[in-house]
Structure 1
Amino acid sequence: MTTPGFRPTHVVPPQGMPAWAAPDPAGATVPLDALLPVQLVDRRGDWGRIVCANGWSAWVDGRLLIAVPKDPPTPGGPLGNAPDPRPLLARAEADLARYRTAVEDLAAGELDGEAFRHRTRNLRIGVVVDGPDVWLYDEEQGQWVYGDGTGLSTYATDAGPRATAPPARAPTRLVAPEGER
């Protein structure tokens, strides 16, 4: 049964994902099916509370959800601000050029295997282009982002969800009885 007016904002990643009853990494509930349409209704840090078409709600690692494209803006309406993919593309090009140079130097005998490993240590590049779609690895953020030419959204991340901080409480104040002050 679908909840009236349900419109998904995201889908679960292709490998599925765990869900929790509360934004706490202990005690995962049932796993969510791959590409399940969900509506993201709340965020707390890395956590996102989702609602499924049948009304069931759970907490997930919100960074892993894949955004569903929104309707195009109406003519004359404001354009949305979306992260620009060009800086990530430029970094990927520069890193790929560094790697290519190291491979060429190794093939030419100018580097041995140890020097090649040293030169390419900590170099991480990730680019997949499939028509208008692009997946880029953002090494600084430790995440894969997806873009369709109009903006980027987090696709997957290297880290799991973090626990949320408990709500701040007012300090306890001791009050002495009237006669003891």
Structure 2
Amino acid sequence: MALRRIVLHPDPRLKKAATPVASVTDDLRRLADDMLETMYDAPGIGLAAPQVAVMDRLLVMDCAKEDDATPEPMVLINPEVVWTSEDRNVYEEGCLSIPDHYAEVERPKEVEVTWMGLDGKTQCERFDGLWATCVQHEIDHLDGKLFIDYLKPLKRQMITRKMQKLKREMARG
């Protein structure tokens, strides 16, 4: 397993839709392991492949955050929301590709998602609470959408300018 470099906004790869995965390979399993390690190291609760510069429809997540909680890592290949509740939830979201920026985003409170597991079998699960928010946030990444796209233009532009400045400062090193 290896830590991957997280792509920072603004980056054109974060605005592109990822390509569906045809089959589970050893490379894909390695990518999933690397992504989980990178997510835990960051630390975060979700990570989509485009965030590590891989344009495949793959995401990892683990919303078991309490200190004494047993990790519940999940790997979702080609995830798709097949049902959303009418009830809505608002969470303050952040993103590993947009560090230190947070904003309230409203999303469906519950979602049902189908995906292919690392065993190649189709799975389906209903998520609620933080898990529902996280899976929707990560699927958005696979569709080229960021949480700041839900914000008013002025706030979105302000965050983008701050990220451009951060990237310039990092480049100067």
With structure 1 as the length reference, what TM-score do the two structures score? 0.27
- The one of the two structures with greater contact order (alpha-carbon pairs below 8 A, sep at least 6) is 2
Q: Which has the larger helix fraction?
A: 2
With structure 2 as the length reference, what TM-score do the two structures score? 0.28
Which structure has the larger Rg?
Answer: 1
